[in-house]
Chains A and B, each alone.
Chain A
Amino acid sequence: MKERSLNNICEERTFSNLYDQYADEVNNYLYYKFGYQVEAAETVQQAFIKLWKNCKKVDPYHARAFLYKVANNLSLNVIKHEKIKLRYAKESHKRTATHEDPAFEMETDEFKDKLETALATLKPKQRTTFLMHRIDGKSYKEIAEAEQISVKAVEKRMHQALVQLRETIKNI
C-alpha cells in the first residue's frame, strides 16, 4: 500500500515513466486496429490524458490495462464515426534488409506487399493479435491482458489470422 501511494500516477515522474513504457505498444495496438497512424497517435494522446485525469483512481500496476481499455473504447468511437482506411501498403515503413542480395530483397519486398494487402482483409481483432505478436513480440498472455480475453481466445485469433493470410496470399 505504501509503495502504491508513493508511485502515484498524478506524480509527473510516474506519469512520464508510464508513457515511456506503454506509449509505443498502445500506439501500435491502435495502428493495427485502424491501419492509420495519425489516428493512432491521436488516440494515444487521448488515452494518456484520460489516464492523467484518472490518476488518483488508477493504480500504476493497472495503468497498462487501463490504457488498453481506454484505447479500445476510443477506437470503438472511431470505428463508429468513420470507416477505417487500411493503409499498411502505403504507410508501412520499409525496412531494407542490408547485406542481402538484391534479388532476395526484391522478392522479400514483393512478399511484404502481398502480406500487407492480406492483412487488410483480416478482421481487426485478428490483425491486432497477429501484429502484436509479430512486431511487438508480445506473448499471448500479454495480448490476452490487453484485449481482456483468454489466452486460448488469443491463440484462436492467431490461428484464424494465419489461415486467412495464407489463403489470401495464395490467391494474389
Chain B
Amino acid sequence: MEDNYLAKWINDEEGHSVDDPILQQIKEVSGQLTTPYFDKEKVFKNIQQKKTRSKRSYINWSVAASLLVIIGLGSLYLLSSRSFETNAMASKNIQLPDRSKVSLQSGSQLKFNSLSWSLDRKVALSGIAYFDVEKGATFTVTTQNGNITVLGTAFSVSSVQDQLLVRCYEGSVSVEKNGKQSIIKPGDRIVIDQKNNRHITKNLDLSFKQSGQDDYYIHKKSLSKITELLQRFYGIKIKSKVTSKKHYTGTIPLYDLEKALNIITNTYQIDYQQEAKNSYIFVGNESTEK
C-alpha cells in the first residue's frame, strides 16, 4: 500500500478508495462534527480589556515613576530652598553653607538652595546685602538688575527698584547685565541704572565696609523714587504734596530716618511733617511759611 494512503483517501485525492465500512463511517460522521460553542465576542472583549489595561498600566508606570522622581527631586529641591527677609530698619547676618557671610540690610530678601549649593554657589538677592565670600568656585548673586560673580571676596550689592549698585572691598567682582560684563576692583563702585548705563567710581573709602550701617547710594533718582526708597527702607508711609523733576545723586543712611529725611528735604528745599507714628508728609517750603 502506498505511503499514507488513508490520508490521501480521506482528502478525496483521485484514485484512492476504501471499502472498509468503519473508515467510510469515520469519514462521513467526522465531517458532521463541530466544536463546542466558542464565545468569540466575549473572548475578544476580554482581550480588548487586557490590551487597554496593559497599555494603561504601562503608561501609568512610566508616568508614575517619572512623576515620583520629579516630585521627589522637586520637593527635595523646594525643601532645600532657604529664604531670608529683613523688615524695615532691621538687618540680618546669614551664614551660607560654605561659611560665606551675608549681612542682609533693611527691607531685603535673600534666597538660596542648600541642595544645589555644593554644585553652584548662587544666591538671589532683592535689596541690599554685604557679602564676605569664602574662596572657592564661582559665587553668583542674581538680581533683577543683573548678576554679580566672584570667586572669593568681599563686596556689597544693592538691587533696589531698577538700580543695581555693587561695591567691591576685596578681590575683584564681575557684574553682568544683558550680556555685558564689568569688572571692578577694591574701592570701586559700579552703578547700573535703568537705562543700562554704567557708572564706575574708583577709590572710595573702604573703612565703613563692615559697619552694617552702610549708606545707600542713590544715582540720579527723582523725588518720587526716593520717596519709595525711604518707605521701603524704613517701613513708613510718605505722602508728598510736592513734585520735582530734579534728580538726586548721593547717599542716604539706611538706619537713621531723621537724617535721611533731612538730607532729602534739604536737597529738594522742602519740609516734612509727621502725621502719625509711621506716616510722613512732604510739603513745600511755602506752606510752612503760611
B20 at the interface (CB under 8 A from A): yes
B47's closest neighbor in chain A, by CB?
A48
Q: Is the CB of B7 within 8 A of A158?
A: yes
Query: B1-35: which residues lie under 8 A (CB-CB) from chain A?
Result: 3-8, 10-11, 20, 22-23, 25-26, 29-35
> Would you give the shortest CB distance from B14 to chain A, in whole angstroms?
15
- In B113-137, the 8 Å CB interface with A consists of none
Residue A86 interfacial (CB < 8 Å): no
Hey, which chain A residues are within 8 Å of B50, CB to CB?
45, 49
Query: What CA separation (Å) do A45 and B4 show in the bound complex?
Result: 35
Q: B205 at interface (Cβ–Cβ under 8 A)?
A: no
**What is the interface size of chain A, counting residues whose CB is below 8 A from a CB of the partner?**
44
Cα(A52)–Cα(B50), bound, Å: 10
**A 21-43 binary contact with B (CB < 8 Å = 1; else 0):** 00110011001000001001100
What residues on A are CB-neighbors of B30 within 8 Å? 115, 130-131, 134-135
Rounded to whole Å, the gap between the CB of A12 and the closest CB of chain B is 9
A40 in contact with B38 (CB, 8 Å): yes
The answer to whether B26 and A31 touch across the interface, beta carbons within 8 angstroms, is no
**Interface code B30-55, partner A: CB below 8 Å = 1, 0 otherwise?**
11111111111001101100110010
Total A-B residue contacts, Cβ distance less than 8 Å: 114
Q: Is the CB of B33 within 8 A of A49?
A: no
Is A19 touching B44 in the complex (CB atoms < 8 A)? yes
Q: Which residue of B lies closest to A108 (CB)?
A: B29
CA distance A170 to B20 in the complex (A): 11
A97 at the interface (CB under 8 A from B): yes
Closest B-chain residue to A53, C-beta based?
B54
A96 → chain B, closest Cβ, in Å?
10
CB pair A166 B38 closer than 8 Å: no
CB distance from B12 to the nearest CB of A (A): 11
A117 to B108 CA separation, bound complex (whole angstroms): 95
| Minimal Cβ-Cβ distance residue in A for B20 | A166
Chain A CB count within 10 A is highest, among B11, B29, B34, for: B29
Which B residue's beta carbon lies closest to that of A112?
B29
Q: Shortest CB–CB separation between residue A30 and chain B, in angstroms? A: 10
Interface residues of B (CB under 8 A from A): 3-8, 10-11, 20, 22-23, 25-26, 29-40, 43-44, 46-47, 50-51, 54
Q: Please give the residue numbers on chain A whose beta carbons come within 8 Å of chain B beta carbons, in ascending order.
A: 16, 19, 23-24, 27-28, 31, 37, 40-41, 44-45, 48-49, 52-53, 91-93, 95, 97, 108, 111-112, 115, 130-131, 133-135, 140, 152, 154-159, 162-163, 165-166, 169-170
A/B interface sample: 16 pairs, CB < 8 A: A28-B35, A31-B38, A41-B39, A41-B43, A45-B46, A48-B43, A49-B50, A52-B47, A92-B34, A95-B33, A108-B32, A112-B32, A154-B7, A162-B7, A162-B23, A170-B22
